[in-house]
């Protein structure tokens, strides 16, 4: 945290009893999660409804088997793993905000880093959800626990994924939890208790998406994935989805939590990151498409199927060209001068980038890896209604986690809730938003 945004250290006499203050803190957080405006209740009810629809579909899937999905022995991973892959990128990308804040010591970024880390927590929850619903036997989840189960570490890349994802979740929970609790106590956080973890989480963010890429890139029998460029592409696209989502989120926060100071600097910095990564991603995408399509041969039939269709089958063709169109649109929008002055243009660019990467990392990557199959049979896949319901349910649950986490953390960060003032009836009037959105501020320049 920046020194400027911190309250002065409390006098020794006021220091609250830490044994009692932690339960008090948890109780305050609990109350914050369940108290809000009509819009908050309406939104959470809607998300709960979607999550319950997903839960119901999952219950049916568990009872009847994965036959409720449209996956087959030919295309054995589908929408769930596609969404998982995408969301790992979101989780990694969210922490990218930490890099300018801590590595380059950008003061304004410090204030919004917590938003990125909470997003990472919610995204990992979504990842774990997608893994859980993709398992044929979730009742045997304990088999991955080292000691009780038999985690195949370090040989299986999936076991690496289990380790890095859970580690990442714990890391971010610790950092966020510690900072919020210290804010709540009105104490200055001890750097020793969080700064090492912040730096660790930066490296860890890279690792979660690299390991996820190696999950696919390490399979010799799937030439479409067996590319050394896969991990770099994953990292670059994480640097798109993370900033794009955080920009959108900061706009929402400005609207619904005006007391929380969101300066223009961080938004402009994230937009600047987007301007670069969108182009790098397009370049890498083009390089891979060129290698696959130009050289031809049996190893490149998946790419042909993806972009052009194969043997009269082309279920993925509309997907990938939509993805390409979205990526190009976002690249153009984010480079228009208006993206610096016009909120709508920047938001549209973020939405397009987010959608483009979702298709490219999802249906555009996972499914063509299986088509044609290893014996070169072309069996197509389109997700079933059950798969869409469950996926929507998991995203809804993830959004709920994110909203609740923000609902808890932001009032603490704005000083409206603290150990001395945990009653919610005497809230001070909300401070006005710190500044108008744009024009850009020169602060937050990483160079």
Which residues lie near another protein (CB under 8 A)?
Answer: 34, 41, 45, 48-49, 52-53, 55-56, 59-60, 62-67, 69, 71-74, 76-77, 131, 134-141, 143-144, 149-152, 155-159, 162, 215, 218-222, 298, 301, 369-370, 372-377
Instruction: Give least dist CB 389 to another protein, A.
Output: 11
Instruction: Give least dist CB 298 to another protein, A.
Output: 5
Judge whether 409 and 114 are in contact, CB under 8 Å.
Answer: yes
By beta-carbon proximity to another protein, the closer residue of 52 and 431 is 52
Cis peptide before 73 (omega within 30 of 0): no
Instruction: Give least dist CB 66 to another protein, A.
Output: 5
Instruction: Give least dist CB 95 to another protein, A.
Output: 25
By beta-carbon proximity to another protein, the closer residue of 19 and 63 is 63
Pick from 254, 189, 215: nearest CA to 430? 254
How far apart, in whole angstroms, are the C-alpha atoms of residue 61 and residue 291?
40
- Residue 40 has a CB neighbour count (10 Å cut-off) of 16
Instruction: Give least dist CB 64 to another protein, A.
Output: 6
Q: What is the 3-state secondary structure (H, E, C) of 261-278?
A: CCCHHHHHHHHHHHHHHH
How far apart, in whole angstroms, are the C-alpha atoms of residue 25 and residue 16?
11
How far apart, in whole angstroms, are the C-alpha atoms of residue 290 and residue 297?
13
Contacts 24+ apart (CB under 8 A), 131-139: 131/80, 131/84, 133/58, 133/61, 133/80, 133/390, 133/394, 134/77, 134/80, 134/81, 134/84, 136/65, 136/66, 138/62
By beta-carbon proximity to another protein, the closer residue of 141 and 420 is 141
By beta-carbon proximity to another protein, the closer residue of 215 and 263 is 215
By beta-carbon proximity to another protein, the closer residue of 247 and 401 is 401
Instruction: Give least dist CB 402 to another protein, A.
Output: 19
Tokens of 10: 């409390």
Instruction: Give least dist CB 348 to another protein, A.
Output: 36
By beta-carbon proximity to another protein, the closer residue of 9 and 296 is 296
Judge whether 245 and 94 are in contact, CB under 8 Å.
Answer: yes
- Signed CA dihedral, 414, 418, 422, 426: sign only: negative
By beta-carbon proximity to another protein, the closer residue of 62 and 347 is 62
């Amino acid at each position: 945290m920046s020194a400027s945004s911190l309250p002065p250290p409390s006098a020794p006499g006021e220091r609250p009893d830490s044994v009692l203050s932690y339960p008090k803190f948890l109780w305050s957080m609990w109350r914050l999660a369940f108290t809000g405006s009509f819009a908050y209740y309406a939104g959470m009810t809607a998300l709960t409804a979607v999550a319950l629809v997903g839960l119901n579909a999952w219950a049916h899937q568990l009872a009847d088997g994965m036959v409720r999905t449209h996956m087959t022995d030919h295309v054995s991973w589908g929408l769930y793993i596609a969404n998982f892959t995408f969301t790992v990128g979101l989780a990694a990308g969210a922490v990218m905000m930490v890099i300018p804040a801590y590595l380059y010591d950008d003061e304004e970024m410090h204030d919004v880093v917590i938003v990125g880390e909470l997003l990472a927590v919610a995204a990992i929850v979504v990842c774990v959800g997608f893994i859980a619903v993709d398992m044929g036997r979730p009742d045997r989840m304990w088999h991955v626990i080292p000691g009780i189960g038999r985690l195949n570490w370090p040989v299986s890349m999936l076991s690496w994924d289990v380790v890095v994802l859970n580690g990442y979740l714990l890391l971010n929970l610790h950092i966020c939890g510690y900072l919020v609790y210290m804010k709540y106590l009105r104490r200055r956080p001890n750097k020793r208790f969080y700064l090492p973890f912040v730096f660790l989480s930066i490296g860890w963010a890279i690792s979660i998406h690299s390991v996820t890429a190696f999950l696919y890139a390490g399979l010799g029998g799937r030439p479409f994935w067996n590319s050394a460029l896969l991990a770099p592409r994953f990292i670059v696209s994480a640097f798109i989805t993370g900033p794009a989502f955080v920009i959108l989120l900061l706009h929402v926060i400005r609207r619904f939590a005006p007391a929380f100071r969101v300066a223009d600097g961080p938004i402009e910095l994230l937009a600047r990151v987007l301007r670069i990564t969108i182009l790098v991603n397009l370049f890498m995408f083009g390089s891979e498409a060129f290698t696959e399509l130009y050289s031809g041969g049996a190893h490149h039939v998946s790419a042909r199927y993806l972009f052009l269709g194969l043997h009269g089958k082309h279920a993925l063709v509309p997907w990938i060209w939509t993805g390409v169109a979205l990526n190009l649109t976002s690249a153009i929008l984010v480079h228009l001068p208006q993206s610096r002055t016009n909120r709508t243009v920047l938001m549209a660019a973020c939405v397009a980038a987010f959608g483009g990467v979702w298709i490219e990392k999802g249906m555009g990557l996972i499914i063509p890896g299986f088509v044609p199959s290893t014996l070169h049979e072309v069996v197509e896949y389109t997700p079933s209604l059950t798969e869409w319901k469950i996926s929507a349910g998991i995203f809804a649950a993830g959004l709920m986690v994110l909203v609740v986490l923000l609902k808890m953390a932001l009032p603490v960060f704005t000083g409206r809730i603290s150990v001395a003032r945990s009653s919610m009836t005497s809230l001070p009037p909300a401070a006005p938003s710190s500044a108008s959105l744009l024009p850009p501020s020169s602060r937050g320049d990483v160079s």
